[in-house]
Amino acid sequence: MKSEKNKINRITKKEGLKLLKDSDLLGLGTMADNVRQKLHPKGIVTFIIDRNINYTNICINRCAFCAFWREEKDPEAYILDKKTLFKKIKETIALGGTQILIQGGLHPEFDINYYVELLKSIKENFNIHIHGFSPPEICYIADKMGFTLKKTIKVLKEAGLDSIPGGGAEILSDRIRKKLSPKKIGKDRWLRVMEEAHKLGIKTTATMMFGSIEKPEDIIEHLDAIRKLQDKTNGFTAFIPWSFQPGNTELAQRTAYSVQRKNALRRTHHAVRYGATAVEYLRALALSRIYLDNVPNIQASWVTQGLKLAQIALRFGANDFGSTMIEENVVASAGVKYMVSINDILNSIKGASFKPAQRDMYYNIIQSY
């Protein structure tokens, strides 16, 4: 937890906003890299071998930025059966995997019994870390059962849940959330899930999806909310910023239609740009490292940015290369598919003049290369 002395020297929201909007890119990167070097002086960049398993794509939230969800009657809708699930886990372990990231849509027929049975069946058959169920899923279960968040998380923990991913955060600004995902939980409930998990001894990650409709002020609001909760609980192991991928999403289609109508009336044509540019990604990443002085690890997102930009990110504050992503479906559904091997990750880290090391969820080193 950040000491009171160090808190005095941290940047303010106003200073953070100025850095995000007006600072020289390379200067901002240097600032972030200096922070990284102080926190991680040995030049080690970590990664984890895991698999992202989505147990269903049926979801009642229907977020405008998501291309993954399907209605229950959609021909592409699915619920993963146990045989397929276990096959995926066996493959993960065979490839040296130590963790599965298990998430899914909010299925209208699932209650807590489904999730408990799912967790128990995995733990009974495999020795693997379960990083699962983001705050929207946990809130959905709690509401359906009439449980408190604390009771819901406790039941899931007892069934085998080891840690919680930071999904569903997007931008922690209710102004933005109401436009992107009006059916999803608000900022306060997302933070509440994480706080309750931390109190129960469950470590979590935090994420941020930017490059959709937010403004720089919203990014600062998001980072400040994470920093304040981390001051209180010290339960976040890492922060992962990634950019909106517009392909096949309702948000992109909705915006394109609106702009086309306006341009038709004006008899002009302007290209519609979605997502964040490489420069905007690096700015957000660097500011995350500077602002989140109490979060130990910042992850580069090769899944959305590709390996080359992820390499550059290692000089803009990131000290972690994330997961090998043996399987990834959500970002892929938006048309972004960067598939890499362990050797690709090792070579990328070494090529950026860092020392690669495999880690677990808690950033314990499993193997150095």
Percent of the chain with pLDDT over 70: 85
Residue 24 class from Cβ within 10 Å (0-12 exposed, 13-18 middle, 19+ buried)?
A: exposed
Q: Are 283 and 28 in contact (CB under 8 A)?
A: yes
User: pLDDT tens digit string along 203-236?
Assistant: 999 999 898 888 999 999 999 999 999 999 999 9
For residue 256, what pLDDT is reported?
42
Q: What is the pTM of this model?
A: 0.88
Q: d(Cα 270, Cα 251) in Å, to the nearest integer? A: 18
What single-letter amino acid sits at 96?
A: G
Query: Average pLDDT of 301-313?
Result: 88
What is the per-residue pLDDT for 327? 58
pLDDT digits (tens, 9 = 90+) for 2-13: 555 556 689 999
Query: Tens digit of pLDDT for each residue in 240-276?
Result: 998 876 655 566 565 443 333 343 334 333 334 456 7
Write down the domain spans for the chain.
4-368
75 or 143: whose pLDDT is higher? 143
Which of 106 and 37 is assigned the larger pLDDT? 37
Give the number of residues written for the chain: 369
Cβ burial, residue 297 (10 Å; 0-12/13-18/19+):
buried
Q: What is the pLDDT of residue 66?
A: 73
Q: Nearest-CA neighbor of 96 among 363, 362, 364, 360? A: 360
Interatomic CA distance for residues 101 and 104, integer angstroms: 10
Q: DSSP secondary-structure letter at 263? A: H
Q: Which fold has domain 4-368?
A: TIM Barrel (3.20.20)
Q: What is the pLDDT of residues 194-205, one digit of tens each?
A: 999 999 999 999
Sheet arrangement for strand 204-210 = 204-210, 236-243, 297-298
